[in-house]
Amino acid sequence: MDKDIIDLIGNTPLIKLKYPSELTGCNIYGKAEFMNPAGSVKDRAALGIILDAEEKKEIGKGGTVVEGTFGNTGIGLTMVNNARGYKTIIVMPEAASIEKRDILKNMGADLRIVETLPYANMGNYQHVSKRLAEELKEKNGGNVIWGNQFDNTANYKFHEKTTAQEIFDQTDGKIDGFTCAIGTGGTLGGVSLGLKSRNKDIKIACTDPQGAQMYNHFKYDKLEVKGDPSETEGIGQYRVTRNVEPTLVDMSYHVTDYEAFELLYKLVKTEGLFLGTSCGVNIAGAIAMAKEMGPGKNIVTILCDDASKYYSKMYNKEFLTSKNLPVPSWL
């Protein structure tokens, strides 16, 4: 009876994806992470990072959390921090959707928008957020942390502890494969370790959006971009983060934006699933995995968030046409 908002993070259901399952002859399930209280899988990373910092006594009452994010981790952190009594400062690249900016501002985060630059440039949002956290910590004499979602291993460890356990239990241990894309690497890293510790024969696949390097990293052991930059958000990695390092991967897939968006429009119209951009990549990867593994398999992927954070892209005819992406017939 005494639950608060944080207690609602996790324990999301599995949804059977009808079209992908019928197409492949497999049972393909999506873990409905959009049902987390702040609306995405990143609620888990946010909670894992804060719980770890509290346990290490790196932050206490009235403290400040600084993070660089394309949006969802920042939204999750702001929710957790508001409930815990911490201030949130978010550094976000200008390429992030306007919807995510509005959510963060409306939740009371101190939002700093920076130019969208590659990680190698010290003006990249991750580097800017780290410097800001260090400056504030020195100025305030402590009680300031940098979330560091990409290299903070509390991220993947929380997924190993929660997400993997939930998936295994929800499938009664009868899971043959799991796949998702890599943003920080926390979800795939933690789930791969958690599932394989329970059954080493469970296959794990990395599904990479166009314009990223993880497909080539896992398939050919080389960091090399495949395809043009993606219009999906929150996924697509160019380096081996500390959350990627321990990941156990058996297969690797590459998905174009066109494939992902086309699949999302089909699912909203035929199954009522109103999903965000990265979900299209994940589901396309699950389909590819099912086709490779053969009929009758049980495969799980992540439904990261819903489409409400991407109206200005996903349901903007002018934007879609300018990017040579499919346009829903009803627009």
> Catalytic site residues?
42, 278
Q: Which two tokens stand for residue 235?
A: 């996924």
Q: Which two tokens stand for residue 220?
A: 């050919």
Give the β-pairing of 87-93 and 110-114: parallel
Closest Cα to residue 234, out of 273, 299, 280? 280
Please calculate the CA angle 290-296-298 and round it to the nearest 5 degrees: 65
The torsion defined by the Cα of 216, 222, 225 and 226, in degrees rounded to 10, comes to -30
For the chain, give the number of residues.
Answer: 331
Contact of 278 with 294, CB cutoff 8 Å? no
